[in-house]
Chains A and B, each alone.
Chain A
Amino acid sequence: MSENSFAASPGQTIGPFFHYALPYEGGGQLVPPAAPGSVFLHGTVFDGAGEPVPDALVEIRQADPHGHVPRREGSLHRDGHFTGWGRAATNASGRYLFTTLTPGPVHGGAAFFGITLFARGLLDRLFTRAYLPGESDAFTRSLTDAERSTLQIEADAEGGLRFDIHLQGPGETVFLTFPRHAA
């Protein structure tokens, strides 16, 4: 078949009415809050005016603490297993929250959470990475200090991991494109 036969389907906004369809019970709890080693990964999604975005959806993909990426079924019904994937809608204050495990580095790379962001008003999904404090790699070293700081998780006073996402404006998060994403 011609190359064009497999041209990518365009994305579209998630729109305003996804809340009854996509979020699911326990979607943000990759592990129960009381599980050994559990940590909160949380933050706020901001728009270009610095206002929180109350209708965004955040998904994470991560390794376990040993740097192993789970390939186990059960991402919607985890049944007590760690699957390394989670989904959380932002609340009325633009905040999202995951209860999870701290990821280890995969194959000697830097330790980060892969993140996908969707929102009403956002015409296509965005990818980014949330690096654990102190982690860097060739990609982050290619960025300016200001850019790099947008991908760094902050350890908060309660031992949680805080990662705010800025769609635009001062501190606009660095968003990623991967090979073959380009038109």
Chain B
Amino acid sequence: MPTSLPGHGAGTALELEPQEQLSAEIAAAQENVHPGARQPRIDFPAYRSSVLRHPTKDLRHADPEGVELVAPVFGHGDVDPIESDLTIQGDGEPIGERMVLAGRVVDGDGRPVRHQLVEIWQANAAGRYVHKHDQHPAPVDPHFTGVGRCLTDADGAYRFVTIKPGPYPWRNHLKAWRPAHIHFSLFGTEFTQRLITQMYFPGDPLFALDPIYQSITEPGARDRLVAVYDHGLTTHEWATGYRWDIVLTGTHSTPREPEDHE
């Protein structure tokens, strides 16, 4: 087993397997799809880095209690409104396709997740992260860090202005390229709803080839990670618009009492 180096993986080009082999592994893993399986299969060896990093025993059912019922609380003192605009963090305009990205965060019953933190991070238009371990020979954009934060509003809505990220290569296998994506970090109304995921762009030709995306074996569930182009969000001579809504599984099976009395 190759040791895990910084970056996604290991090995030299000579020892990396071809896409055909990876695609066959993905197809085999997806033969027994359980309808409604909404989460990625954490034992998904086509994503090589997962082999030694997934639990082998079943997750144990627990009833949330105490601290697990209460999400961390964020407020306007935690986040500066300008952090939601990733295009104004440098001294100039970042390169690439400017985009408005907006959506709502709701729980499993459709209730808005209000005033919670949304964090994003992403590669630049050339597919390069500012991370010191990203050695992909594509340009670093001096005007783009690819990091943003905001709070959801009273309706659970969030909105970012950013640059559409590019796809980038990784060393999971030969000619492995990640579909363009934006990482999202989310909090619900309770600790058990914590989620980190990735948002993808519609029509990406790399979807079928990507073991991280395909680790969600149920097609309908995979689709939920793909944003939609939204012409209403697109602005004249300034930015394209994408919409992506997020559902966080809630433990509460019945509506909660109103909580906005502080």
Contacts and interface: CB of A to CB of B under 8 A. Distances in A.
Give the size category of B's interface with A. Answer: 35 or more
A49 B76 CA distance: 43
A90 to B, nearest CB: 12
Interface stretch (B19-27, B64-72, B235-243): B64-72
B169 to A, nearest CB: 13
Contacts of B224: 7, 9-10
Interface of B: 1, 3-4, 6-8, 34, 36-42, 44, 47, 49-57, 59-79, 106-110, 117, 119-121, 123, 129-131, 133-134, 145-147, 183, 185, 191-192, 194-198, 212-213, 215-216, 218, 220-222, 224-225, 246-251, 253, 262
21 contacts: A9-B197, A12-B198, A12-B215, A13-B49, A15-B8, A15-B183, A17-B123, A19-B131, A48-B53, A69-B69, A73-B73, A74-B74, A74-B75, A106-B67, A125-B195, A167-B53, A167-B54, A172-B56, A176-B62, A183-B36, A183-B39
Given A9-B246, A21-B146, A48-B53, 10 more contacts: A6-B106, A8-B249, A12-B215, A15-B183, A20-B131, A70-B73, A76-B79, A107-B66, A114-B66, A183-B37
Task: Give the dominant DSSP class at B's interface.
Answer: loop
Given A55-B6, A76-B79, A121-B47, A173 B55 contact: yes
Contacts, number: 267
A76 B8 contact: no
